[in-house]
Amino acid sequence: MWFLISFNLAGKLAAFLMGWTSPAAALALWFLPDFLLAYHVFVPGAQGLVRVHGRFSTVKREVWLTIDDGPDPEDTPRILQLLAAHRARATFFVIGEKAAAHPELVRAIAAAGHEIGHHTHTHPVGTFWCASPARVRRELDAGLEALRAFEVRPARFRAPVGIKNLWLASALRVRGLVCIGWSARGLERWRGDAEAVAARAVCGLAPGAILLLHEGPRVPAAIRVEGIRRVLEHLKEQGYQCGVPRPEQLGNH
Ligand SMILES: [Zn+2]
- Buried b vs exposed e over 16-47: b needs ≥16 C-beta within 10 Å? eebeeeeeeebeebbeebeebbeebbeebebe
Cβ 18 vs Cβ 25: under 8 Å = yes
Q: Is the pLDDT of residue 244 over 80?
A: yes
Cis peptide preceding 160, ω within 30 of 0 = no
Using the mean position of ligand 1's atoms as its centre, give its distance from the Cα of residue 11 in Å: 34
Distance in angstroms (rounded) separating the CA atoms of residues 182 and 165? 18
| Ligand 1 center–CA 178 separation, angstroms | 16
Q: Is the pLDDT of residue 2 over 90?
A: no
| Per-residue pLDDT, 206 | 96
Residue (of 216, 228, 221) closest to 97 by Cα position: 216
The pLDDT of residue 9 is 80
Q: Rounded to 5, what percent of the chain is helix, strand, coil? A: 45, 15, 40
- How sure is the predictor about 85, in pLDDT bands with cuts at 50, 70 and 90? very high
Catalytic positions: 68, 214
In terms of Cβ atoms closer than 10 Å to its own Cβ (0-12, 13-18, 19+), residue 2 is: exposed
Find the 14 Cα to ligand 1 centroid distance in Å. 39
Confidence band for 170, pLDDT divided at 50, 70 and 90: very high
Whole-model pTM over 0.85: yes
Distance 80 CA to ligand 1 centre (A): 19
Per-residue model confidence (pLDDT) at position 84: 98
If you average pLDDT over residues 33-37, what whole number do you get?
76
Cα 37–chain centre separation: 19
